Amino acid sequence: MSTTAELLPYTQASTTIDSTHPEICALAQSLTSPGARDIENAISLYYWCRDEVRYNPYAASAELDDYLASKTLAAREGWCVTKAILLAALCRAVAIPARLGFADVRNHLSTADLRAAMTTDIFYFHGYTAIYLEGQWVKATPAFNLSLCERFGLQPLEFNGREDSIFHAFDETGNRHMEYLKDRGQSLDLPFTELMDTFSKHYPGMLEKMAAKTTAQKSLDHWEQEVEQENARA
């Protein structure tokens, strides 16, 4: 594809979107075809990121290095922000313009332990990826992997490269799932200081534990056990 000067920064590596990392490049090239259109390649990258990197909200960190796309790839787990960063890196690795978007949402997909840790059902700085395809920026949300959606009775988010892929308002049984409260806009890379300031304001206890790398960072197995317990109570 030919990129204009305006789009060029969104095809290059940046602080957390380390799209020139060898592992990122190798994966992106294995999932795409040089002869395919950007939209076809972006769809392939989206589904890999959605389902092969499992969602774990306890993977949030107070360290900038933990937000590198290459670290999320190595861990094969992440939360909405780090999975959005990884998808952006995979796109940029094959010259598809991508950037990050953020919003505050009321998330009805959570567990008792997570609600207690956050002291709210509002997820500040929910992250998604904006990808430039066929002359427009399209939102892609790779956060919740297919197996997690099946456990919670949610419709998995599909992505066709032409329409915004954002969370459904209701789950498969008609219960509230996600409400978008505030659009924080889109940026070249992660506004890390603003993210930490927001977490400090709204999740002070959780941020302290994140900084100390204590109980805020629970294992993926622990999170999935919480999901099973939440389903049993439903």
- The confidence band for 2, taking pLDDT boundaries of 50, 70 and 90, is very low
| Residue 216: pLDDT over 60 | no
Contacts of 195 by beta carbon, 8 Å cutoff, 6+ apart: 81, 125
Q: What is the mean pLDDT of the chain?
A: 88
Tokens (6 digits) for 76: 């094969």
Q: Residue 151: its pLDDT value, please?
A: 82
| Per-residue pLDDT, 71 | 98
Enter the DSSP assignment of 4: P
Which 3 state secondary structure label does DSSP give 185?
A: strand
Q: State both tokens at 216.
A: 């805020």
The answer, yes or no, to whether residue 215 has pLDDT greater than 50, is no
Q: What is the pLDDT of residues 55-66, one digit of tens each?
A: 998 888 999 999
Query: How far apart (Å, rounded) are the C-alpha atoms in residues 209 and 104?
Result: 22
What lies within 8 Å, CB to CB, of 162 at 6+ separation is 39, 133, 134, 138
Q: In sequence order, which ranges of 125-216 are alpha helices (DSSP H)?
A: 146-152, 192-202, 204-212
> What does each C-alpha distance from 101 to 36, 81, 141 come to in angstroms?
26, 9, 10
Q: What are 70-107's pLDDT values in tens digits?
A: 999 999 999 999 999 999 999 999 999 999 999 999 87
pLDDT tops 60 at residue 1: no
- Indicate the pLDDT class of residue 109, thresholds 50, 70 and 90: low
pLDDT on residue 22: 98
Q: Are 113 and 31 in contact (CB under 8 A)?
A: no
Domains assigned to the chain: 8-213 (3.10.620.30)
**Residue 206 phi/psi, 5° resolution?**
-65, -40
Rounded-to-integer distance, Cα 62 and Cα 56, Å: 15
Distance CA 160, CA 169 (A): 19
How many Å apart are CA 199 and CA 81, to the nearest integer? 13
pLDDT greater than 90 at residue 67: yes
Residue 6 pLDDT grade (very low, low, confident, very high; cuts 50, 70, 90): very high
Q: Which residue has the higher pLDDT, 39 or 176?
A: 39
pLDDT at 228 over 50: yes
pLDDT bracket for residue 115 (50, 70, 90) = confident
Residue range 120-178, pLDDT digits in tens: 888 999 999 999 999 999 999 999 999 988 887 778 899 999 999 987 766 666 666 78
Q: What is the pLDDT of residue 136?
A: 96
Greater model confidence, 134 or 220: 134
* Minimum mean pLDDT range among 44-53, 113-122, 194-203: 113-122
